[in-house]
């Protein structure tokens, strides 16, 4: 027993020494000269690293970050060091940026100097050819394809499908207590499936995709341990099955000679007809599958998180809820009391509801920051950002800064009656890597709010003030809510009643 203890101690000491040597080398590399190119200036000899603390060797300040609310961690750092500071997270030296100018510098003005970066395990799980892992020519051409499938004409055609998904989600919730976040994840998945496959996917295929995607999602943020039985191993197996299902769908479409005009069809046609100047195909079937799986990831959790917060914010602001209800009642009247479907034009008339969405995006800031990596030594405002360091624009810090949004912790949609200052409102990122599906996400939110406030009442079950991170911020337990149709009433025990005075809002 004593020998085993001594062996463990020796291993830990060895790992600590190796970690420190690795850290010291990384730090010395940062102190040295990086490569220069792309037309930017070499950092001056007098430039220095940003202020901040690096924490323990290798571990850095990761434990401090994950032992508390990450918003508190970043806010305290900004208060102490200013709008640019360094830290060490998840084994990587990082520079954090909390100003609109810095965000624009990294994401737009000098975007070629900062490449997107993700852990290798996550790239493998989604697929290394997915849109958001790349930059340069491949990224630009692929982005055009995705944007083409999400353009105004495509969204107009999608409104009935989105509305059908919303109606189905709310109908399955009616009279029950459910986790709002889980209900919204189902809705976002269904909308993503419609956007990717049009209305052409049979229920068997949809069930296969849902089942395997759910397994992949559970393993996405797990420790990348490939031993059989681990979440990561199960997720990678499910990921291979997902690719198999997608390959079958693509083969069947080719056999019918109908690739389709949906997103999958657009990606398939780019592969079949070729797109490069030398005639080489732009995408292989594996690359198409990587991007379809990537879109499913991008379309679900972030949108579901915002939808969950919208339900909470409306519930917590009764006067605002009634104003939104009045606006949506007028839209419902324009659809003959809901007997005719919503159209794109109807969604463009929801001015107050749109401001509620914008304020929800600002308040919740479900994308708190984004990861980039410096491809060369870069100087910014007299500070040097070494090549290889991670660079993280802090969207939440900008959204909650009183210099840009007065009384930032108050939910106030009226602030968006005037456009915010440039680069202060970045819920979908900015530059060439901004989310291409932002208009689809907002369409989903508008349609959900319309049917929620005109057809239903709801109450939050339990406390709703605590926040969980999984990894996006959502109210505790996903915000359990009891939902019922407008023409029903519910007593305090959740039983249906005919007494209108029993309605709980």
Annotated binding site: 435
Question: In whole angstroms, what separates CA 215 from the centre of its chain?
Answer: 18
Beta bridge partners of 469: 473
Contact 189, 212 (CB under 8 A): no
Which residues sit in the known binding site for heme?
Answer: 435
d(CA 141, CA 326): 44
Here the tokens at position 144 are 């055009």
The sign of the dihedral angle between the CA atoms of 312, 420, 450, 166 is: negative
DSSP tag of 201: -
Contact 435, 297 (CB under 8 A): no
Pairing of strands 383-385, 378-380: antiparallel
Contact 324, 456 (CB under 8 A): no
H-type helices in 317-364, by residue range? 318-334, 344-348, 351-364
Pairing of strands 92-97, 390-393: parallel
Question: In whole angstroms, what separates CA 157 from the centre of its chain?
Answer: 24
Residue with tokens 């109210």, as numbered in its chain:
475
Contact 328, 334 (CB under 8 A): no
d(CA 73, CA 452): 36
Q: How far apart are the first and last CA of the chain?
A: 63
d(CA 117, CA 119): 7
- Per DSSP, the residues of 94-154 read EEEE-SHHHHHIIIIITGGGEEE---HHHHHHH-TT-GGG--SHHHHHHHHHHHHHTSHHH
């Amino acid at each position: 027993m004593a020998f085993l203890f001594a062996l463990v101690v020796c291993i830990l000491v060895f790992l600590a020494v190796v970690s420190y040597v690795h850290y010291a080398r990384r730090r010395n590399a940062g102190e040295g000269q990086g490569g220069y190119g792309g037309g930017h200036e070499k950092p001056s000899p007098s430039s220095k690293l940003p202020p901040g603390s690096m924490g323990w060797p290798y571990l850095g300040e990761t434990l401090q970050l994950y032992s508390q609310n990450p918003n508190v961690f970043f806010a305290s750092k900004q208060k102490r060091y200013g709008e640019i500071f360094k830290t060490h997270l998840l084994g990587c030296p990082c520079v954090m940026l909390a100003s609109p100018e810095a965000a624009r510098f990294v994401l737009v003005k000098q975007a070629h100097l900062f490449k997107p970066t993700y852990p290798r395990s996550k790239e493998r799980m989604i697929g290394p050819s997915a849109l958001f892992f790349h930059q340069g020519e491949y990224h630009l051409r692929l982005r055009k394809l995705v944007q083409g499938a999400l353009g105004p004409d495509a969204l107009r055609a999608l409104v009935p499908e989105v509305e059908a998904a919303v109606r189905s989600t709310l109908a399955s919730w009616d009279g029950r207590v459910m986790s709002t976040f889980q209900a919204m994840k189902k809705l976002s998945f269904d909308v993503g499936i419609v956007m990717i496959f049009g209305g052409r996917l049979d229920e068997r295929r949809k069930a296969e995709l849902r089942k395997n995607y759910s397994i992949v999602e559970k393993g996405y943020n797990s420790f990348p341990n490939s031993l059989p039985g681990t979440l990561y191993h199960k997720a990678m197996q499910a990921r291979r099955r997902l690719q198999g299902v997608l390959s079958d769908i693509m083969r069947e479409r080719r056999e019918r000679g109908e690739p389709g005009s949906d997103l999958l069809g657009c990606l398939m046609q780019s592969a079949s007809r070729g797109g490069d100047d030398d005639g080489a195909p732009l995408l292989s079937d594996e690359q198409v599958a990587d991007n379809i799986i990537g879109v499913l990831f991008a379309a679900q959790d972030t949108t579901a998180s915002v939808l969950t917060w919208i339900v909470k914010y409306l519930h917590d602001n009764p006067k605002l809820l009634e104003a939104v209800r009045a606006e949506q009642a007028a839209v419902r009247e324009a659809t003959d009391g809901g007997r005719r479907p919503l159209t794109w034009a109807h969604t463009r008339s929801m001015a107050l509801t749109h401001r509620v969405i914008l304020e929800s995006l600002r308040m919740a800031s479900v994308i708190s920051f984004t990861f980039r990596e410096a491809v060369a030594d870069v100087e910014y405002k007299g500070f040097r950002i070494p090549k290889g360091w991670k660079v993280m624009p802090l969207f939440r810090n900008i959204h909650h800064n009183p210099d840009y949004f007065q009384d930032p912790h108050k939910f106030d949609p009226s602030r968006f009656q005037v456009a915010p200052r440039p680069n202060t409102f970045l819920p979908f990122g900015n530059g060439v890597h901004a989310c291409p599906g932002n208009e689809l996400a907002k369409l989903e939110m508008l349609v959900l709010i319309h049917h929620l406030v005109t057809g239903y009442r709801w109450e939050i079950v339990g406390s709703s003030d605590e926040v969980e991170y999984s990894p996006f911020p959502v109210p505790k337990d996903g915000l359990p809510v009891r939902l019922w149709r407008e023409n029903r009433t519910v007593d305090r025990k959740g039983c249906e009643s005919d007494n209108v005075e029993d309605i709980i809002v």
